[in-house]
Amino acid sequence: MDPRFLPHNSHREDPGRFSANDPQLRHLAQCTFRHRSALLDQLPRRTPGIYSLGGGRQTGKSTLLKQWMADLISDDIPATAISYLTGELIDDHHSLLRHIDTHLSEAPHGRCNYLIVDEVTYIRGWDMAAKYAADAGMLDNTVLVVTGSDLSFMQEARMRFPGRRGEAAVSDFHLHPLSFRDFVALEGNVEDFESYLMEPSAMSDETVDSIYDAFDRYLLHGGYLTAINNLAEHGVIGQSVLATYSDWIRGDVLKRGKQEAYLREVLSAIVRRYTSQVTWNGLAQDLSIDHPRTVADYVELLERMDAVAVLPALREDKLGPAPKKAKKLMFCDPFILHAVRAWLEPRSDPYHDQMLPLSQDPVRSSQMVEACVSNHFRRFFPTYYIKARGEVDIAYIRAGRFWPVEIKWTNQLRPKSLKQIARYGNGEIWSKSRHAGEIEGVKVLPLPIELLRVGADDGGVA
C-alpha cells in the first residue's frame, strides 16, 4: 500500500487497536455524543459489487466508513482484505486502477475483500477505472464503496455500471445529517419516546416539554454532530464551527469554476426569500447576475452538494412537479442556514447575535421550521408544496396519493389562513400546540412529536 494512505489504514498494523489509532474514530470517542448511523446495518458485508455513499460534506461519511471497517474487523475479516483510499491523493483513473490492483494483490485470495475510495469525484475519470476493473473480473470478489459530496455521482454510477453493481438489493446510500428522531435518541433525555409515539396522548407533560426543548436545540445545531457536541460541551456554537460549514460551501463552489461574488448573491437571495415562492427570472431581477440560467446553475450546484433544497409545486393530477410554477428554496438543514448567515453577515458572536434572535423571531423561526419539516419528508418521499387558490406548505407522496401538511409554528391559528388545507380530507396541520386537536374539520397535531414519526419505518436508504 502507498504509505500516504497508512494513517487511514492503521488496522493493518494492529487490528485490535484500530478504533484507538484511527484519526476519525479517535476523535469520535472524545465527543460527548457519538452517533451510530442506521446505514451501518445496511452497508454490504459479503455481497461483491460497486456501491456508492453520497451526502454533503461534514455529515460524517468518512467516520461512518471507519465505523464500518471496525465492524468488519470485529467480524474477523483479515486486515489485508480491507483498504481505505482517499480520492484527494489520486490524480486520475490510471492511478486509481494501479491502487485497485495493489489492493487486490495484497488481499487474501478466494474470499470477499473490501475497498473504499473516499471522495472519488476528486479523481479524473474514476468511473473508467471502476468499469475496466469490473469488466476485467478484478472486482468479482470485491465490495467497492465509493463516496462523494456531489450527489450527481450517485446517478452517474447507476447509469455507467449497469449489470456491474452486484446482486445486493440496494447499491446506493445517502447519508443525511441526523434527523430530529436521531437527535432525540442520541441525547437520551426522553426515555422510551418511541413507545409513546404509538399513543401520544399517553405522554406526560414533562415528556412533551422535553421533546419541545430538544426541538428548540435542533433548530440551532440541526443534524450536524460537530455542532451538536459544540453546543453540549460549551453552551454555545462557536464561530469556527460555523465557518467550517460555510467554508465547505464556498470551497466546493469555487473548485467548480464559479464566482464567489455570484455565490454570495445567490445565498443572500435564498436567505431573504426563505421558503417563499420564487422563479429564476424573479431572482435574477433582484441580483446583478445577468441571466436566470446562471442563477439556476448555482442553485442546482448547491442542490447537488446537499446544501440547498428546491421544493417544486405539486401537479395534483399527475402526482409530480409542476415545472411552470414557482419553486421554494431552502437549506437542507437548519445549521446550514446559520452557517451561511454567519458568513454573509459576520458577527463577533454569531450564536448570541444571530442564531438565538433568529430562533426567537416569529416569522423567521416559522420559515426555519417549515424548511426543517420539508427536508425530513424529502428524505423518504417525493415532496412538494401546493399552489392552488391558496398554498399548502408540504404535500408528500405515499401509497399512490398525496398527503398535505400545513405548518403553523405560531401561538394562534386563524381559520382564514387554513382554507386551502381544509379542502383536503386527508390534510393535517402541524402546530406549536402541545396537544392534538381540530380546527375547521382538520386535524391539528403537535409538530415536534409528529416530526419524530417521519420515516420511522423507512430506514433512510436513498
Residue 456 lies in a domain: no
Provide the 10 A C-beta neighbour count for residue 9: 21
Comparing C-alpha atoms, which of 168, 158, 98, 108 is closest to residue 133? 98
pLDDT tens digits, 342-386: 999 999 999 999 999 999 999 999 999 999 999 999 999 999 999
pLDDT band for position 162 (50/70/90)?
A: low
DSSP tag of 313: B
Residue 254 lies in a domain: yes
Instruction: State the virtual CA torsion across 213, 214, 218, 219 in degrees, nearest 10.
Output: -20
Residue 460 lies in a domain: no
Asked if 38 and 459 count as a contact pair (C-beta separation under 8 A), the reply is yes
Could you tell me if 292 and 409 lie in one domain?
yes
Could you tell me if 163 and 235 lie in one domain?
no
Residue 267 lies in a domain: yes
Last-in-domain residue among 120, 147, 174:
174
Find the CATH number of the domain harbouring 8.
3.40.50.300
pLDDT at 461 (0 to 100): 33
Q: Which residues pair with 428 in a beta bridge?
A: 405, 443
Q: Is 279 left (phi over 0), alpha (psi -120 to 50) or beta?
A: beta
Residue corresponding to grid cell 451561511: 340
Could you tell me if 189 and 168 lie in one domain?
no
pLDDT tens digits, 82-114: 999 999 999 999 999 999 999 999 999 889 999
Could you tell me if 147 and 199 lie in one domain?
no
Once rounded to an integer, what is the mean pLDDT over residues 389-415?
Answer: 92
pLDDT band for position 460 (50/70/90)?
A: very low
Once rounded to an integer, what is the mean pLDDT over residues 205-221?
Answer: 95
pLDDT for residue 221 is more than 50: yes
Last-in-domain residue among 155, 174, 193:
174
Last-in-domain residue among 174, 197, 220:
174
State the residue range of the domain holding 63: 3-174
Once rounded to an integer, what is the mean pLDDT over residues 286-293?
Answer: 89
Q: For the chain, what is the largest distance between any 2 Cα atoms, rounded to a whole number of angstroms? A: 70
Could you tell me if 374 and 237 lie in one domain?
yes
Residue 381 lies in a domain: yes
What value, to the nearest 5°, has the Cα angle with vertex 103 and ends 126 and 71? 100
Could you tell me if 167 and 311 lie in one domain?
no
- What's the total number of domains in the chain? 2
C-alpha cell at 375: 427536508
State the amino acid at position 316 in one-letter form.
E
Residue 193 lies in a domain: yes
Residue 125 lies in a domain: yes
Comparing C-alpha atoms, which of 126, 124, 125, 60 is closest to residue 115? 126
Could you tell me if 216 and 90 lie in one domain?
no
Could you tell me if 313 and 210 lie in one domain?
yes
Could you tell me if 218 and 324 lie in one domain?
yes
CA atoms of 439 and 1, how far apart (whole Å): 66
Could you tell me if 395 and 425 lie in one domain?
yes
pLDDT at 32 (0 to 100): 95
Comparing C-alpha atoms, which of 411, 443, 457, 448 is closest to residue 207? 448
DSSP tag of 374: H
Could you tell me if 326 and 386 lie in one domain?
yes
Could you tell me if 161 and 261 lie in one domain?
no
Residue 312 lies in a domain: yes
